[in-house]
Structure 1
């Protein structure tokens, strides 16, 4: 119970903060545009028309979202949505699948459920837009924007002032490394070597983003995947709160990602990369992990919500909405602590509010 309260107490604080948000975030957005890359933690509808099992365009997803069912893998807003609101954007950043020329100047969401750093991650579920493909889509967006603004130099300077968010890598474990009967990676690499290989590829992708004009880039580490209800159901915990072997593997990735961000800041003096530490954010006491939670919705075999099922009635008390994805209230904790760090461990070297001002 003490551990549960250690997480619920900041949630209650955040609820109060969000009630004040409408009065705090006023005027023009703090940056001209906001671009979002990642997986189902940030997907806002890009998977809706894809042939894949990884889609959330059905109830009970979106039950608390203002526009209802949208393709978001949660009951309400994603962490990327809430960060956008904290940055002062009056509307949610639209998904690439439906974005119009009128909308692209304020940003695009490229996130895709089941996507990974590696091209093959999530392929057993069907189509998905890998990070490499998201970067190609962003290149197309820049071309569209340059034509609309009729000045390539202006567009380049414009893009340098925007915030870029990248939250990806979970599927390289959940829908790749942790499924040895489908993917060979766990037989090819030790967990230590796999983390190194992932970071090497991610490094090239973040450099591509820089070469496309990004200068303010928030890079999210992975959460404690071993605490997800679906992973616990699959692997068991041996009496521990979470699947320790999975969290140990994720820790290796996060340590290398933090080092990569430091290296990128050293190598690109005109850019500002920052590392958002989801492990710190989800463990407010530092060495205490979030206790595994029962999914708020009824889940099918793959951990997603059973279509048209009835979710739990008091969703602000649930950390997980389905077997993998956080509830809106958990997303709110992540978003606010990413935007304004409570602990020095939450963000390094900047939180997103500081990044926006640079």
Structure 2
């Protein structure tokens, strides 16, 4: 309980910062455009029209979001939404699925719930856009911008956010009934294979013009209500083997960032350490139940009434953070308050570096 109380005190500090000057809408965004890649942690509706179980376009999702149940896996804003506000955008970046020609000049969100770095990840629950497909979609948007006679040379000054990888473990490697990766690879080898593919994908993004890229680490995914209830913890706060997977993956981030920046002299890749941010008191701080009533293993039951005091819940459903957790993550990703939060830049300093 002491750990949980400490976490909530920290969250309240973020709220005070949010209300008293940390976030100010500016007349002009700090970057010309903002592109978002990833999974359900930053998806804002790209899966709505897919034949898929990876959907959140129904209440009680979006109960605290100004536009309602848009497809965000949260009661309110995602980390990507909040960072967009910090960057000075007066509206939320549109999903690729519905983005108009008028909207794409300020950015596009390609994120898709259930997806991963690997193509097959999440396929057991139906449609989703893998990271490779998101890169294809981004290439299509660049072509649209070119046809619209937009200055695509400004892409190097735009902000890019990538938050992906969790599903490659919880909806791939640790589901042996659906995927054979755990039989093909040891956990250590799998993380190496995964990071090699991720590196290639990020280099593709660079070739398409991205320079200022924030890469989000994995959270301690073994601490989610889904993981602890499904796999058991042997009396521990979290599922040790799943957290080990996240740790192995995260430990490869700094070398990856350094190599990407060294190999490409104008590249500005940076690493956002979500474990440092979201788990300031260790994994015991994360033992709070989901806010919504569940329908199955992880998703909110359609039409159900969520908990009334959502500010006190770290998770909204059994997998995804509540808005208050997203505020905490976005605030420290943007303005790091500890050296471990970001490397080599937090987002505030990243967008101010000139190529």
Deviations 1:147-169 (Å, cap 9, x if unpaired)? 1125xxx31x2100000000000
Correspondence for 2:330 among 335, 339, 350: 335
Equivalent position of 1:251 in the other structure: 247
Q: How does 1:278-297 map to 2 (within 5 A)?
A: 278-285=274-281, 287=282, 290-297=285-292
- Structure 2: 5+ residue stretches without partners: none
1:120 aligns with 2:120: yes
Deviations 1:86-119 (Å, cap 9, x if unpaired)? 0000000000000000010100000000010000
Kept in 1: contact 2:273–2:342 (CA 8 A): yes
Equivalent position of 1:317 in the other structure: 312
Equivalent position of 1:174 in the other structure: 170
Deviations 1:177-199 (Å, cap 9, x if unpaired)? 11011100111111100100000
Correspondence for 1:348 among 343, 351, 354: 343
Correspondence for 1:262 among 249, 258, 273: 258
Equivalent position of 1:236 in the other structure: 232
In structure 2, the CA distance between the partners of 1:264 and 1:231, relative to structure 1 (3 Å rule), is same
Equivalent position of 2:197 in the other structure: 201
In structure 2, the CA distance between the partners of 1:96 and 1:316, relative to structure 1 (3 Å rule), is same
Kept in 1: contact 2:23–2:85 (CA 8 A): no
CA drift of 1:288 comes to 5.2
**Distance in 2 between residues matched to 1:129 and 1:288, nearest whole Å:** 31
Q: How does 1:185-200 map to 2 (within 5 A)?
A: 185-200=181-196
**Distance in 2 between residues matched to 1:126 and 1:171, nearest whole Å:** 14
CA drift of 1:293 comes to 1.6
CA drift of 1:51 comes to 0.4
1:301 aligns with 2:304: no
Kept in 1: contact 2:271–2:344 (CA 8 A): yes
CA drift of 1:325 comes to 0.2
Kept in 1: contact 2:38–2:164 (CA 8 A): yes
Correspondence for 1:158 among 126, 151, 154: 154
CA drift of 1:249 comes to 1.2
Q: How does 1:16-55 map to 2 (within 5 A)?
A: 16-21=16-21, 24-55=24-55
**Distance in 2 between residues matched to 1:272 and 1:47, nearest whole Å:** 30
Correspondence for 1:214 among 210, 222, 239: 210
CA drift of 1:263 comes to 1.0
Deviations 1:43-89 (Å, cap 9, x if unpaired)? 00000000000100001000000011100000000000000000000
Which deviates further from its counterpart, 289-298 or 178-187? 289-298
- TM-score normalised by L of structure 1: 0.96
Give the SS at the match of 2:285.
coil
1:224 aligns with 2:224: no
In structure 2, the CA distance between the partners of 1:21 and 1:124, relative to structure 1 (3 Å rule), is farther
In structure 2, the CA distance between the partners of 1:45 and 1:149, relative to structure 1 (3 Å rule), is same
Aligned length: 353
Equivalent position of 1:147 in the other structure: 147
Kept in 1: contact 2:24–2:88 (CA 8 A): no
Give the SS at the match of 2:215.
strand
Kept in 2: contact 1:39–1:168 (CA 8 A): yes
Give the SS at the match of 1:290.
helix
